[in-house]
Amino acid sequence: MKSRDKNILEHILIYCDQIFQAVELFGNAYEIFKNDAVYRNACCMCILQIGEITGKLSKEIQEKRPEIPWRAIKDMRNICAHSYGDIDIETVWDTIINDIPAFRSECENLLMES
């Protein structure tokens, strides 16, 4: 694995862990997330960063794991970056609770294979 890909994957893990820390700090409840702008902004910033750096992974890495929705990850970044206060909060919450843990696990597996 290229050192650049390794570095990107390590940063993805950091952002995923920061999302987990936010959930732990604020609470694992949709109602809290929906009503707390600081909580939402913290998680959205991490999602934004994940989407941004995911786009910098080599084609080799992306082709190694075609089951990972690489395009959807970048699209979620664009939603967080360009919705200008009109983000679908339920979609973001679903991403945090259901998608980020699985994505983190896939990235960790990629790192272990290197």
Of 4, 65, 77, 104, the active-site residue reads 77
pLDDT over 80 at 82, yes or no? no
Of 11, 65, 82, 104, the active-site residue reads 82
**Count of domains observed in the chain:** 1
Average pLDDT of span 20-41: 96
- What's the pLDDT at 78? 81
What is the domain range of residue 100? 3-113
For the question of residue 11 being annotated catalytic, the response is: no
Measure the CA–CA gap between 76 and 82, rounded to whole angstroms.
Answer: 10
Using the Cα atoms of residue 37, residue 107, residue 17 and residue 8 in order, give the sign of their dihedral.
Answer: negative
Contact 3/55 with Cβ under 8 angstroms? Answer: no
- Global pTM reads 0.92
Q: What is the CATH number of the domain that holds 53?
A: 1.20.120
